[in-house]
Amino acid sequence: MHANATEPLVAKHGALRDALRPRLQRGLIIAFSGGVDSAFLLWCAEQERLASGGRLLAVTAVSASLSRAEREDAARFAKWLGVVHRWEESREFSNPDYLRNDGSRCYHCKTELFRLTGRLMEEGTYGFVAYGYNASDRGDCRPGHRAALENGVIAPLADAELTKDEIRALMREFKLPLADKPASPCLSSRLMTGVAVTPEKLRHVEEIESILRARGVEVARVRIHEDGPLSFLRIEVGPGEMEEVLAARAELVAAGASRGYLRVLLDLGGYRTGGAVVR
């Protein structure tokens, strides 16, 4: 089963399952986004549930910030795994602090997510909520983790010292779906800091990114900038995928113009994490 895994990685995987076992006995909710980290955590929890018993529930929060592609990935994975999966309507768009899109946006988003999971815990069936924060995330600015700590949400991947690369390695080892899925933060993360979040803007981002995906671009970020009454789009892709963007130039410019954007720009610096943060 661990033919290609290193001994330290096998030990970390074992530590994760050991940590999940007692939580499952009291009932465990996994905040499941459809991304790699939460998918692996959910799979591990289900394997342990099958082996040792317990109760497990996957919960996916749904709002305008969750793209259709992410919803489909979450639905397919949960169905493939055979776990109980609930969709819960998230109300972060009713929070003006979230819509302001300052440096605390993720905090308000996760606070709403954990309000939803906390409500399910109060029904008395589940004793713990876990999410996909891992050891690699400790080096990033993660306002959402503060919300997790405030709400008593556990991070078993980080507790087991599993990094993002190690999670992917284990997913490949066990031949799991989504093992090679690119990082997939929410649509609101595309808006530059200070650009107010609206469902319309997020729809624009999703629609224009879909043009790039149709051209075979694997990793793309369409950023929205605003300068007073003027707004424009900046596209980030990997250096090796810029030709595909240029091949779609006319379609992208027309798509941007029809949605009210003054310019559609290609960022020659390429894709980078945190590209929406004003520095």
> pLDDT tens digits, residue range 183-228?
888 999 999 999 999 999 999 999 999 999 999 999 999 999 999 8
Specify which residues 87 forms β-bridges with.
Answer: 60
The verdict on residue 252 lying in a domain is yes
End-to-end CA distance of the chain: 45
Give the CATH number of the domain where residue 114 resides: 3.40.50.620
The verdict on residue 96 lying in a domain is yes
d(CA 233, CA 254): 12
Q: Give me the mean pLDDT over the 251-279 stretch.
A: 88
Q: Closest by alpha carbon to 240, among 198, 194, 271?
A: 271
The verdict on residue 279 lying in a domain is no
Question: How many CA atoms lie within 13 Å of 136's alpha carbon, on the beta-carbon side?
Answer: 9
Same domain, 166 and 219: no
The verdict on residue 67 lying in a domain is yes
Q: Is the pLDDT of residue 238 over 70?
A: yes
Q: Give me the mean pLDDT over the 77-87 stretch.
A: 98
Residues written for the chain:
279
The verdict on residue 274 lying in a domain is no
Tokens describing residue 237: 């892709």
Neighbours of 239 (CB within 10 A): 10
Angle between helix 36-52 and helix 68-81 axes, rounded to 10 deg: 20
Specify which residues 88 forms β-bridges with.
Answer: 61
Q: Give me the mean pLDDT over the 219-245 stretch.
A: 94
The verdict on residue 1 lying in a domain is no
Same domain, 13 and 131: yes
pTM of this structure? 0.93
Q: Who has greater pLDDT, 27 or 141?
A: 27
d(CA 253, CA 264): 6
Give the CATH number of the domain where residue 210 resides: 3.30.300.20
Same domain, 23 and 128: yes
Q: What pLDDT does residue 142 have? A: 81
Q: Is the pLDDT of residue 1 over 70?
A: no
Same domain, 26 and 118: yes
Task: Give the chain's domain count.
Answer: 2
Same domain, 153 and 18: yes
Same domain, 224 and 87: no
Same domain, 147 and 15: yes
The verdict on residue 233 lying in a domain is yes
Q: Is the pLDDT of residue 111 over 50?
A: yes
Question: Which residue range forms the structural domain that includes residue 240?
Answer: 187-266
Domain boundary residue, one of 114, 139, 173: 173
Same domain, 17 and 152: yes
Q: Give me the mean pLDDT over the 78-84 stretch.
A: 98
Question: How many CA atoms lie within 13 Å of 88's alpha carbon, on the beta-carbon side?
Answer: 24
Domain boundary residue, one of 173, 199, 219: 173
Same domain, 43 and 140: yes
Same domain, 116 and 230: no
Q: Give me the mean pLDDT over the 108-127 stretch.
A: 93
Same domain, 136 and 239: no
Q: Who has greater pLDDT, 142 or 157?
A: 157
The label of the residue with tokens 């490949």 reads 172
> Is the Cβ–Cβ distance between 177 and 34 less than 8 Å?
no
Domain boundary residue, one of 128, 149, 173: 173
Same domain, 139 and 201: no
Q: Give me the mean pLDDT over the 256-270 stretch.
A: 96
pLDDT band with cut points at 50, 70 and 90 for residue 138: confident
Q: Is the pLDDT of residue 88 over 90?
A: yes
The verdict on residue 276 lying in a domain is no
Neighbours of 7 (CB within 10 A): 8
Q: Is the pLDDT of residue 279 over 50?
A: no
pLDDT band with cut points at 50, 70 and 90 for residue 44: very high
Q: Is the pLDDT of residue 263 over 90?
A: yes
